[in-house]
Chain A
Amino acid sequence: MRNLMMAAATALLGVAALCAAGPRPQAASQANAKPAASAPIPDLSGDWGNPVGAGGGGFVIGDPGDRKAGTPQDPTPYQPWALAKLNSERPENGPHATFENTTDPRLKYCDPVGVPRIYLVPTQFRFVQTPDIVYILYQYGPTWRPVAMNRPHRDDPDPTWWGESVGHYEGDTLVIDTIGLSDKTWLDHVGRPHSDELHLIERFRRIDKNTLQMDLTFDDPKAYTKTWYGKKIFAIQHGGFDDAYACSMSEYEHFRQSIVDPVTAPKK
């Protein structure tokens, strides 16, 4: 029934799982490619979030890609160590979902989620497009991320939570090329790992006034045997962006004591 439910939801909304290894959306281009000087800048304005509202979506409960993570049905091309690491985690989503003793660095420590996991957190984001830098403002954190436009990466940047991002436009698409990502983050809510050699490409294209498509390319030979791809659809949001979602360990601890512990206690 769960599969049927999700199939229906997917068919209705066309929401693709971020982890789905699908056909290559478009060839990953060079990050330092320069657009024609007169090329119009695509309008990505608006607050973007999950199609069903300000929250939810992404690797949700029952998502086919989510439920397969680490199983023989999972098409993700893991290196052996990456698969072993995934299956050793204690995430609160996916086929090994558990409420107890999570190893999720976000829930355990309020660690920054990095990219692309930030897009799975049920919150909104907004682009601020300037000629030199595209800023992405994330409601979760709240945090922001600069994308330096039309310039190459620095040489071997130090790994950080958000990496180093450079970008350019290809027609109606904003292409963001990111390296220098710390391997402390998970790619998603089920715990897919990555190495500090992850090369991530995000491609954002406004399909229509109210819809934004993100295509992802994961290139990380240390963690995956070949390049793999994903995509996610976002919908324009109406309200709520200004209500920041801060990750607070004290608030989470209170929540754990008042909800998680009693819900996970053995049945009496």
Chain B
Amino acid sequence: MKRISLLAAVLLLAAGAAMAHHGTAGYDETNMTTFGKATITQIEWANPHCQIHFDVTNDKGVVEHWNVEAPPPSMLAPRQWTRKSLQAGDMVKIEFHAAKNGAPFGIIQRVTFADGRILRAYPDREPQQSQQSQQ
């Protein structure tokens, strides 16, 4: 499992700080967590936020269960998402801001499929500085 952190400095190319309607105080907005091989286990297509459940296998071979929130359907639809965009069993690269308290939760930024296709949940924040590997 490769977990990569994008350091704090980001440039908002599109005022992408718009995160969740409820605020993001519980998330580490300054770092992006990336799992290169996440297996989708469940999608909850609902208000006030969709939820994406997935599994990743850590360096010790243990499966971790994660749950990240996403915008509501009304916001995802214009961004080319449908409730079937991600399905259980799909293996994708997933990028998100993780919970500050270390719990396996977060708020999603985007998903990249094996064929390179990208679905953005929020407008991209482009890295201004280097990437740093955490593990």
Contacts and interface: CB of A to CB of B under 8 A. Distances in A.
Given A63-B17, A240-B78, A267-B101, A92 B11 contact: no
Nearest to A262: B103
A53 B79 contact: yes
A55 B74 contact: yes
Contact of B29 (A6, A61, A255): A61
Given A139-B74, A263-B99, A52 B10 contact: no
Interface string B66-107: 010101111101110000000000000000000111110100
Interface of chain B, main secondary structure: loop
B118 interface: no
Interface string A239-268: 110011111100110110011101111111
Interface residues of A, number: 60
B26 A240 contact: no
A268 B100 CA distance: 11
A92 B23 CA distance: 5
Interface stretch (B32-40, B46-54, B56-64): B46-54
A98 interface: yes
A54 B75 contact: yes
Contact of A61 (B23, B49, B100): B23
Contact of A122 (B12, B14, B51, B71): B71
Interface of chain A, main secondary structure: loop
A102 B21 CA distance: 13
A12 interface: yes
A15 interface: yes
Interface residues of B, number: 44
A12 B17 CA distance: 13
A178 B25 CA distance: 34
Interface string A70-98: 00000000000000000000011100011
Nearest to A51: B15
Nearest to B25: A97
Contacts of A98: 23, 25
A174 to B, nearest CB: 24
A9 interface: yes
B31 interface: no
Given A259-B51, A265-B101, A245 B72 contact: yes
Contacts of A123: 74-75
A245 to B, nearest CB: 4
Contact of A54 (B16, B27, B69, B74): B74
Given A55-B72, A97-B25, A255-B69, 8 more contacts: A10-B15, A50-B15, A53-B79, A121-B21, A123-B75, A243-B73, A244-B74, A255-B48
Interface of B: 8-19, 21-27, 29-30, 46-49, 51, 67, 69, 71-75, 77-79, 99-103, 105, 122-123
